[in-house]
Amino acid sequence: MSDTPTVIPRSPAPDDTLAFLKDGYLYGTRRFRKLDGDAFEARLAGTRAVVMHGREAASVFYEDDRFSRERAMPSSVQHLLQDEGSMQTLEGEPHRHRKSMFMRMLDEASVARLVEAFEREWARVRAEHAGHEVPLYDVGNLVLTRAALAWSGVPAQRVDDRELAGRLAAMVDAASTIGPVNWAARVRRRRAEDWAAELVADVRAAHVHADPASAIRTIADGSDDHGAPLPEEVAAVEVLNLLRPIVAVSRFLVFTVHAMHTHPQWHAVVESDADAATRVTNEVRRHYPFFPVIAGTVRRPFEWRGREFEPGERAILDLYATNHDPRSWDEPGRFLPERFEGWDGDPNTLVPQGGGDAATGHRCPGEAATIALTARFAQLAARRPFSVPDQDLRISLRHIPALPMDRMRVEMRP
């Protein structure tokens, strides 16, 4: 891999778990700087791991099936964001087969329908809150839940959309917590799973009519790589793996408003130019903090930076540090959407949703949907449908996942 084998240094502390909790998104960055390298070894959550960042590290982590996600994350995270039998726990042919189902559900035409549903729901919620001050994060969760349900083909009478929005958002909000907050979110996750399992059973039994082209029908009819139908509980988990991250796009909506509020010159540019909206979106995804890291377990031996990686060892790719790596990005701390003009599209430098290739590796299959939703919202927000009252706009990098202190309150114009 690297022409110049170097030794991967160790973090000086015997255990870095508390340091990770304390430093949050900057945990890796501070140590890469101090140890002057793009990787180091540390003890985290009870096991040793190599923490790495940068374009080359991302390609090592994401390409050639070197890593699985098995036992890579602490169970408090795993139970909220993945589950037994879900796509993220699969590798090789079973993974590729399941992934192709997601890529079909999220192809260009389907993403366009999702964006249309989002615009409809945004208009509705805007009217509902006209003249009121609301936290955009919560409103975004509701708009995206309604859009995801309508787009995926779930009949409105099958669900309390406000309750589901709360359950789906809680899974992401609480993923980095431990103790009661995490347990409460797990209970809410189980309720959401029960709801999804019942829905899958009813679609299969034709008690619920679902359009043949809908995502809910695709999952209900889904099979494994040997042609066997997906077990009901696995299909239910995949329903959540589709709905939950669409709702999570709400964080990027918040960050978009934060960015345009603090850099108001972008309103006029974005309103009339869809490409500029996409550049702003990519800079929002690069600049603002969301998933800090992704952990993987070595599947087969390989060598990198003069070190042998043995099966079962853990590595952690620092997504935040890679998105802010000065070797890939000039002035990484500044919000500069123009950096994406003529960008080469390297898959391993802009990695808020993973690196490598989505079709063959674990990179997010929802990236095009995320970009399309956020860019469309940037254009809607550029028309200033709300004002931004005085509030605490600070975003703590110690809190994972991050949000502005006041959840980005906006006052909807009538």
Cβ pair 259, 284 in contact under 8 A = yes
Among 55, 66, 69, 146, binds ligand HEM (CB under 6 A): 69
What is the nearest approach in angstroms of ligand HEM to the Cβ of residue 265? 26
Of 26-34, 40-48, 117-125, 237-245, which part binds ligand HEM (CB under 6 A)?
Answer: 237-245
Of 45-53, 159-167, 219-227, 348-356, which part binds ligand HEM (CB under 6 A)?
Answer: 348-356
What is the nearest approach in angstroms of ligand HEM to the Cβ of residue 85? 12
What count of other Cβ atoms lies within 10 Å of the Cβ of residue 310? 10
74 contacts ligand HEM (rule: CB under 6 A): no
Cβ pair 360, 96 in contact under 8 A = yes
- Cα–Cα distance, 256 to 220 (Å, whole number): 35
What count of other Cβ atoms lies within 10 Å of the Cβ of residue 394? 9
In terms of CB distance, is 245 or 412 closer to ligand HEM? 245
Largest interatomic CA distance in the chain:
62
What is the nearest approach in angstroms of ligand HEM to the Cβ of residue 370? 4
66 contacts ligand HEM (rule: CB under 6 A): no
Helix runs in 38-160, H state only:
55-62, 75-81, 92-105, 108-128, 136-152
Site string for ligand HEM, 360-399 (x = CB under 6 A): --x-xxx--xx-----------------------------
Question: Which residues in the 292-311 window bind ligand HEM by CB under 6 A?
Answer: 294
- Cα–Cα distance, 401 to 175 (Å, whole number): 8
Cβ pair 224, 99 in contact under 8 A = no
Please give the C-alpha separations between residue 111 and each of 93, 171, 250, 367, in angstroms, as whole numbers.
Answer: 26, 23, 16, 10
Of 173-181, 247-255, 320-328, 338-346, which part binds ligand HEM (CB under 6 A)?
Answer: 247-255
Q: How many residues belong to the site for ligand HEM (CB under 6 A)?
A: 25
What is the nearest approach in angstroms of ligand HEM to the Cβ of residue 180? 26
The C-alpha torsion from 103 through 105 and 106 to 112, rounded to 10°, is 150
Residue nearest to ligand HEM as judged by C-beta position: 366
Task: Point out which residues bind ligand HEM (CB under 6 A).
Answer: 69, 87-88, 99, 102, 106, 241-242, 245-246, 248-249, 252, 290-291, 294, 352-354, 362, 364-366, 369-370
